[in-house]
Structure 1
Amino acid sequence: MTIDSNFMLRKNFYILTFLVLTSTFLVAQNNDYGKVSKEELTQAFSSVDSTASAEYLYKYRKTYFNYVSGVGFNLITNVHERIKIYNKEGFEYATKKIRLYKDGNEIEDINKLKAKTYNLIDDKVEETPLKKEGKFKIELSENVNEESFTMPNIKEGSIIEYKYSINSPFIYNIDEFVFQHDIPVKKIEVFFEAPEYFVFRMNVKGFLNVMPKREQFNKSLDYTQRVASGGTTNAGAGQGLGRTTQVRGNIKYMSNVISYDLYNIEPLKEEPFVNELSNYRSGVKYELSYTRFPNSSKEFYSRSWEDVVESVYKNPNFGDELKKTNYFKDDLDSIIKNLTDEQEKLNTIFSFVKSKVKWDQSYGKYTKKGVKQAYQKGIGNTAEINLMLTAMLDYANLESNPVLVSTRSNGMPLFPTREGYNYIVSSVKLNGKVILLDATSQNSLPGVLPVRTLNWEGRMILKDGKSSIVNLYPTNMGSIQTFQNVILKEDGSAEGKIRNVYKEHNALSFRDKYSANKQESYLSDLVRQNDGIEINDFEVKNVDNLAQLPIESYGFITESEIDAVSDKIYFSPLLFLATKENPFKQEKREFPIDFSFPFENISTSIINLPKGYVVESVPESIAIALPNDLGNFSYTIKNVGNVLQLKVLKKINYPVLPAEYYLSLKEYYGKMIEKLNEKVVLTKV
C-alpha cells in the first residue's frame, strides 16, 4: 500500500505550522515578572471570552510553611498576577485589595511588593511603576486590615502586573485558592506545600473539573532549642545554680506538594435569581485537620459543629451578653405585665426592641460594646439587637434561642468553622412552630426575615449547649394583588387606576423600598420602570402600620402602550404591567434558581373599550405549569359587551428551584411572556 505524497506534505506543513505557532505563543506568554510582550499589549480581546472587559493573562500563587529557628512555623503566600485591560469597564481591575488578619500582637503583613503598568507607545513597551501615593491601608474591623494599591497610567489596552508576599502567623488559616473570577483566566498555576506534620482536609466548590497533582519531597530543617543542664555548686546543700544550653539540630521530613495547572477558565457571570455568585465560584479550601510533630501527640484543629457552637457560646461577647437582664427588667415588666397571650407578648416585645434600638448597619455574631450600652444609647449591631431580643423573650417565659446565620454576601458555611457565620437572628417556639425574628429590620414581622438572611440554613444554639439546624427560607407565600381599571381612547391613549396590595415578604420589600426612597424618588423609579407613564393621585396606606397590609394606589395616563392604525387598535391588556423580557437567557445553568421566597402575583384587569369599536380578536386563555408542582401560570380573558375582563396568575411554590429545572423554567417564562404581550385587536365599526 502506498501513501499519497501530497497528504504527507500537507501533514508535515500542519505540524510545522503548529510548532511555529506554539513556539510564538510560548515566547509571547513569558510569565516571568516584567516580561510583558508587544503581542500581549496589542491583543484586542480575550480568546476565552470576547466580551470580557479584562482578563487574567497569568495568575500564580504558592502557599507554603516556613520554619524560623527558635520561633516556629509561619505561613508564606507568594502572589504574581498579570491582567490585561481591554476597555474602560476593566479599569476597576487596576485596584487590588488585600485582606490581612490580626489577633492581638499577631498580624499578617505584606512585603516584597512590586507592581508596574505596561503600555505600548510608538511600538515600544512603556513601563510605569507603582508609586507610594498609589498605596492605601485601612482597618476594616478589629480583626481585619485592608491594604490596597491602584495602578498608575491606566488606558484601554494596558497590562498591569504585580507580585507580593504575605507573611502570616496563622498557620491554621489557609485562604481559599480561587480558580474562577468575574473575568476569564488564561493560565493559573497554584502550589500548596506543607510538611508532613500538618494534615489538611480539602473542600472543593464550584463546577470546574479540577484535578490536583500530588508530589512528595524529602526536606530538612535546622532548629535550635534551649535545654536545662548543669547541676549544683558546692557552696552548700540545696544551693544549686540552674543552667540552660542551646542545642542545635537537624530534622529530616517529608514535604507534601499539591499543585494545579489550569488554562482558559471562563468567567463566572451574573445571572438572575442567584443567592450569592461567590458561593458557586470554583476554588478549593484547605482546612487544617490536625498537627502531629515528632515525639508529640496529635493536636486537632478541625472542628465539629458542636465545637463551633460551644466556642461561640463561651465567648463573653455572646453567652455572657445573652444572660444579662437587669438593664431592661423594669421597662419590660411594665410593658408586658397585663399580657397573657403568648403571641401578643411576642409581638409587643419585638416591636419594643425595634423602636428602642436602631441598627448601626454592621454585621456580627458577637457584641461590640455590649447589650446594655446598645440599650442605653439606642443603637447596636446585629448581635446586640437580636441577643437583646432573645433575652427579653426568654425573660417573658417564651422559649427563645439565638440562631447563627451566614448572610447571602458571606456565602454558605460548607464545613464547621466559626468564621462561617457572621450574623444573629432570634427564634421563638410557639405552638410547636419555630418563628424567626430579626429586630434590625424596622419593617420585618415575626416569621418574615430580611432577604439578606435567607441563606439556606442557620444553626440554633440551645440552652444545653447543643445546636440544631433551622431552615431560613420561608414557607409562607409572598404576594402582590393588582387591580387595574383602564379606559381606552380612540386616539391610542389610555387612562386608569391601579391598586396593589402587598403581603408577607412582598410587603417587607415594598416598605423597605418606599421608606428608603421616600415618595419623590419612589415615584421617579415607578415612572421609569413603567415606560414613562404619567402618574396622578398617588397614595400609600399602612406603610408604617405593620399590623395591616400596605396598599399602593395611583392613577395613570399612557400613550406608549397602544397602537392605533387606520381603523384598528392593537394593545396588550396588561399594558405596561406586562413583563417584556425573559430574565433567563443562558443556554444552561449549573447553580440553583433562588427566588428568596415563594410568591403569588394575581392581577385582575377591567379594560373599557372605546365607543365605536368592537373586538376582532383576543389572546386565547391558557394555563401552563412547571413540573413537580414547582409553579404555574394562568391567563383568562373574557369579552363582556364593551368590556374586557382579564385575570393573570403567576405562582412559584418554592423559594429555590434546583438547576436541573432551569431549561423547564426558561421555557415556562418564555411562554408566559409571549402570552402577556399578545395583542387584542379592535376594529372600528
Structure 2
Amino acid sequence: MNFSPKRALVVVLFLCCTNLTFGQNFKFGKVSLEELKEEKNQDDSSAVASVLYRKYHLKFKYLDDIGFVVETRVHERVKLYSKDGFDYATVSQKLYNSESKHESLTGIKAFTYNLVNGKIEKHKLQKSGIFSTELSKFYDEEKFTLPNVKEGSVIEYEYLVQSPFYYSIDEIPLQYDIPIKHQEVSIETPEYFVFKPSQKGYLTLNPRYGSKPGKISFTSKTRSDNNGALNTNYSTQSIDYKISTTEYVMENVPALREEPYVNHMDNYRSAVNYELSYVQFPQSTREDYTTTWAKVVKTIYESDRFGKQLKRSRYYQDDLATILDTHITDMEKMVTIFQYVKERMNWNDYLGYYSDKGVEKAFKEKSGNIADINLMLTSMLSHAGLKANPVLVSTRDNGVPMFPTMEGFNYVIASVELDDTIILLDATNKYAEPNILPSRALNWFGKLVKKDHSFTTVSLSPQKTSDIDVVMNITLDENGTINGKCRNTHSSYHAYSFRNHFATQEEEQYLENLENKNNGMEISNYTLKNKMEMGKPVIESFDFTMDGQADVIGDNIYFQPLFHKATTENPFKLEERNYPIDFVYPIQERFKINILIPEGYQLTSKPNNTNLVMDEKMGSFSYAVAANGKYLQVAVRFSINQAIIGADHYLQLKEFFKMAIEKQTEKIVLSRI
C-alpha cells in the first residue's frame, strides 16, 4: 500500500474541520438548518423526538458562607419530529427542601427554533412559561414549557441546580425514553469527598477517569485598633486540592422502550449512582457515610416521626374498645381493626415512611399520608395484642434500591404475624384486603422492622393465584350474530382491580366502556354481586348481543369459539429482552362456553385439543372443544404461576403466548346439513 503524506494531511485537516464544525454546533444557540430539516431519527424511525445533544456537568463549589455545594449544569438540545413528541417541550426538575436548607434552580435559558420559509425563527422562553409547584413538605418542582412548538421544532435549554446536600448525589440517567445522539456527562468531586460509583442498566459504559487541580479561595477579615482608629484588614488565602473526574461520552444511545409487564422501566434505565463513602478534610477526623441496612432501619425507627408515632395510643383507645369484642379471634381482631382504619381514614396522595401530620392529628382529621395511616394501623394492631410491625417499602416508581440508603424507601405498610405467617396490610386503599396490597407497593422486597431495630426481609410478590372465571351460554344464528348470558367471577387481585376500576365511574359509563371495548356488544340485565364485600369474589352477570361474530360463506359458518374473549395479539414482540417479566401476581383465566349452533347446521371441523406447559410449570394453557348434540362445549384455561419470570425464560414465554394465541384464533366450521 502506498502512503502519501500529502493525502494524510488532507485527511487530518478534513477531520479537524469536521470535528470543529461538529463541536461548534453544540454551543448554545448554534442550531443548524440540517437539524431543523431532519424529519426522523436515522437509527430509530419510530422516535417521536431525539436528543441531539446533552451535556450534564456536576461539580462541587465552595462558598464562603455555606461551604461546599453541588452544582449541576444541564444543557440539552431536542428535536421534535411529531406532535407525539411535544411532551418533551415541558421540562421539570424536583428540588429537595429540609427545614434549614433547600435546593434551587436558576439560570434558565430556553429557546424554540422553527424553520419558516427556509429561515430560522427563534422564540425565547418567557417568565410566564416557568412554574413552581409544591409537591410535598419536602419537595418542590420547577417546570417550564417551551413556546411556539411545532412539528419539526428544535428546542434548546440550559439551567443550573444548586444543592447544599453534598452527601447525596441524585441518580444520573444516561438513557432516555427517546434516542440520544450525543451526550457528555462529567462528574467532578474534590479529594475530600470519596464516593463509591455504581452502574445500572444494560448499556455498556466506558467511563474516562482523570484528575485536575482545584483551589479554594476565601477572604478573612480582621479588625485592629490604631491609636483609637478602628482598621479593617482583609486577607485572601487559598488551599490547593485535587479533583477526581469521571466522564461519559456516548453516541447514539438507544431509547428505553416501554414494554409490557415491567414493574417500572426506570429500574432498567442505564444510569450511574454515587454513594458517599466518607468525608475527610485536612487535619480532620474521617467522617464515614457508608451505611448498612441495619443503620438505615435504626435511624428511621428512632425518628420522632416513625417510632414515636407507633407508641402513641391514647387517641384511639376508646374507639378500639368499642369495635373489639373480647371473645373474637386474633384473625378477626386484625380484620376488624384493618377495616375500621380503612373506612375512617382517607389517603391524601402523599407517600413517605415518616408521619407528616402526626398520627393523632391525622386520626382527628381522618386524613393523612401513607405513614400517618399505616403507622396508626400498626399501633392499633399492636395495642390489641397482635404481633404487628411496620414494613419499609420502596414503591415501583421509586425503583429497587441498589445500596443501603434512606432514600431507598418511600413507603410503609403494616404486618401481622399469625400462626407463623406474615400478613401484609395497607389501609390507604378502600378496597385492599389482607395480603392484597396496592400495586404501587408490590416491588420485590420490604424490610419488616421490630422495636429492637432488628429487621427481616419479606417478599412483597403475591404467591396466591388471582382468578377470572368466565361462563357463557351462547346462541349462534345463521347470520353470525350471537346472543347469550355471561357471568364473570373475579377473585383476589382481580377483584381488587375491578373494585378500584369500577369505583371511578358510574355503572352506566362502565357498561358503555365495556360495550365499546367489545366491538359494539349490547348489554342488558346487568347485575353485580359483592361490590364492597371484601374477601369475596366480585361476580358480574349480564345478557348480551353481538353482530358479526362469524363469517358466513356459502353453506359454511366460520367462527372462533372464544369470540370476543380470544387474545389475538402477542404482547411480547422483541427478539430478546434483558429484564424480568412482571405480571404483578400469578393469574389464572378459565373459560367455559356453551354454544348452541344454528338449526340445520352440523359441526364439520374444530381445532384439536391442546395442552401446553412451560418449564418449571411457570405457565400452562389447555384448550378443548367437544360436540354434544346441538351444543359445542369449549373449555380453556390459561395460567401464569409466578408473579415474576426471569429474562432468561423470555423466548420460551414469547413462544408460549404465540402458541396459545394461535390456538385461540383457530376456527370452528359449521356446514349446512
> TM-score category by the smaller chain?
over 0.9
1:27 corresponding residue in structure 2: 21
Q: Where in structure 2 are the equivalents of 1:155-304 lying within 5 Å?
A: 155-224=150-219, 248-304=236-292
2:51 corresponding residue in structure 1: 56
Residues 1:22 and 1:156: Cα distance change in structure 2 (over 3 Å): farther
Q: Hey, what's the Cα distance between the residues in 2 that align with 1:71 and 1:581?
A: 59
One-letter identity of the residue aligned with 1:353: V
Deviation at 1:123? 2.1
1:629 corresponding residue in structure 2: 617
Deviation at 1:48? 2.6
Q: Hey, what's the Cα distance between the residues in 2 that align with 1:623 and 1:128?
A: 63
- Structure 1, 72-81 or 332-341: larger mean CA deviation: 332-341
Q: Hey, what's the Cα distance between the residues in 1 that align with 2:504 and 2:579?
A: 31
1:107 corresponding residue in structure 2: 102
Does residue 140 in structure 1 map to residue 135 in structure 2?
yes
Q: Hey, what's the Cα distance between the residues in 1 that align with 2:43 and 2:19?
A: 15
One-letter identity of the residue aligned with 1:220: K
1:236 corresponding residue in structure 2: none
Note if contact 1:48-1:265 (Cα within 8 Å) is conserved in structure 2: no
Does residue 507 in structure 1 map to residue 501 in structure 2?
no
Q: Hey, what's the Cα distance between the residues in 1 that align with 2:338 and 2:582?
A: 28
Q: 1:352-386, CA deviations, whole angstroms, 9 ceiling, x for partnerless residues?
A: 11112122222221222121222222222211111
Q: Where in structure 2 are the equivalents of 1:384-403 lying within 5 Å?
A: 384-403=372-391
1:472 corresponding residue in structure 2: 460
Note if contact 1:137-1:147 (Cα within 8 Å) is conserved in structure 2: yes
Q: Hey, what's the Cα distance between the residues in 1 that align with 2:33 and 2:152?
A: 11
1:566 corresponding residue in structure 2: 554
Q: Hey, what's the Cα distance between the residues in 2 that align with 1:684 and 1:17?
A: 79
Give secondary structure in 2 for the equivalent of 1:374. helix
1:98 corresponding residue in structure 2: 93
Give secondary structure in 1 for the equivalent of 2:152. coil
Deviation at 1:83? 0.6
1:39 corresponding residue in structure 2: 34
Residues 1:25 and 1:214: Cα distance change in structure 2 (over 3 Å): closer
Q: 1:144-187, CA deviations, whole angstroms, 9 ceiling, x for partnerless residues?
A: 22112111121111111111222221111212211111110000
Q: Where in structure 2 are the equivalents of 1:403-482 lying within 5 Å?
A: 403-482=391-470
Q: 1:452-482, CA deviations, whole angstroms, 9 ceiling, x for partnerless residues?
A: 1111111111111122111001111111111
One-letter identity of the residue aligned with 1:672: A
Residues 1:217 and 1:361: Cα distance change in structure 2 (over 3 Å): closer
One-letter identity of the residue aligned with 1:409: D
Note if contact 1:63-1:78 (Cα within 8 Å) is conserved in structure 2: yes
Note if contact 1:322-1:390 (Cα within 8 Å) is conserved in structure 2: yes
Deviation at 1:652? 0.7
Q: Percent identity?
A: 42
1:237 corresponding residue in structure 2: none
Q: Hey, what's the Cα distance between the residues in 2 that align with 1:258 and 1:20?
A: 30
Q: Hey, what's the Cα distance between the residues in 2 that align with 1:349 and 1:112?
A: 52
Note if contact 2:393-2:411 (Cα within 8 Å) is conserved in structure 1: yes
Residues 1:189 and 1:572: Cα distance change in structure 2 (over 3 Å): same
Deviation at 1:485? 0.9
1:590 corresponding residue in structure 2: 578
Which of 475, 481, 484 in structure 2 is aligned with 1:493? Answer: 481
Deviation at 1:630? 0.7
Q: Hey, what's the Cα distance between the residues in 1 that align with 2:60 and 2:11?
A: 44
Deviation at 1:246? 7.7
Q: Hey, what's the Cα distance between the residues in 2 that align with 1:132 and 1:640?
A: 75
2:666 corresponding residue in structure 1: 678
One-letter identity of the residue aligned with 2:613: A
Q: Work out the number of aligned pairs and report it.
A: 666
Does residue 517 in structure 1 map to residue 489 in structure 2?
no
Deviation at 1:248? 5.0
Q: Hey, what's the Cα distance between the residues in 1 that align with 2:273 and 2:141?
A: 21
1:353 corresponding residue in structure 2: 341
Q: Hey, what's the Cα distance between the residues in 1 that align with 2:481 and 2:71?
A: 69
Q: TM-score, normalized by length of structure 1?
A: 0.93
Does residue 76 in structure 1 map to residue 64 in structure 2?
no
Residues 1:63 and 1:28: Cα distance change in structure 2 (over 3 Å): closer
Q: Hey, what's the Cα distance between the residues in 1 that align with 2:477 and 2:576?
A: 44
One-letter identity of the residue aligned with 1:403: V
Q: 1:245-297, CA deviations, whole angstroms, 9 ceiling, x for partnerless residues?
A: 98753322211001100000110111111101111111101121110111011
Q: Hey, what's the Cα distance between the residues in 1 that align with 2:65 and 2:411?
A: 40
One-letter identity of the residue aligned with 1:318: F
Q: Hey, what's the Cα distance between the residues in 1 that align with 2:490 and 2:10?
A: 69
Note if contact 1:28-1:37 (Cα within 8 Å) is conserved in structure 2: no
Deviation at 1:526? 1.2
Deviation at 1:340? 3.4
Give secondary structure in 1 for the equivalent of 2:278. strand
Deviation at 1:23? 5.4
Deviation at 1:226? 8.0
Give secondary structure in 2 for the equivalent of 1:526. helix
Q: Where in structure 2 are the equivalents of 1:310-389 lying within 5 Å?
A: 310-389=298-377
Q: Hey, what's the Cα distance between the residues in 1 that align with 2:37 and 2:16?
A: 18
One-letter identity of the residue aligned with 1:286: Y
Q: 1:545-575, CA deviations, whole angstroms, 9 ceiling, x for partnerless residues?
A: 1142211111111112211111111111111
Note if contact 1:203-1:285 (Cα within 8 Å) is conserved in structure 2: yes
Note if contact 2:81-2:151 (Cα within 8 Å) is conserved in structure 1: yes
Note if contact 1:120-1:126 (Cα within 8 Å) is conserved in structure 2: yes
Note if contact 1:531-1:560 (Cα within 8 Å) is conserved in structure 2: no
- Give me the CA root mean square deviation: 2.4
One-letter identity of the residue aligned with 2:288: F
Q: Hey, what's the Cα distance between the residues in 2 that align with 1:138 and 1:429?
A: 41
Q: Hey, what's the Cα distance between the residues in 1 that align with 2:105 and 2:367?
A: 36
Note if contact 1:404-1:421 (Cα within 8 Å) is conserved in structure 2: yes
What are the ranges of 5 or more consecutive residues in structure 2 without an aligned counterpart? 226-231
1:234 corresponding residue in structure 2: none
Deviation at 1:225? 5.9
Q: Hey, what's the Cα distance between the residues in 2 that align with 1:677 and 1:25?
A: 56
Give secondary structure in 2 for the equivalent of 1:591. coil
Note if contact 1:339-1:345 (Cα within 8 Å) is conserved in structure 2: no
Does residue 649 in structure 1 map to residue 637 in structure 2?
yes
Q: Hey, what's the Cα distance between the residues in 2 that align with 1:24 and 1:73?
A: 39
Q: TM-score, normalized by length of structure 2?
A: 0.95
Q: Hey, what's the Cα distance between the residues in 2 that align with 1:464 and 1:412?
A: 25
Deviation at 1:13? 11
Q: Hey, what's the Cα distance between the residues in 2 that align with 1:193 and 1:456?
A: 34
Q: 1:164-220, CA deviations, whole angstroms, 9 ceiling, x for partnerless residues?
A: 222221111212211111110000101100111100011211111012100012333
Q: Where in structure 2 are the equivalents of 1:576-615 lying within 5 Å?
A: 576-615=564-603
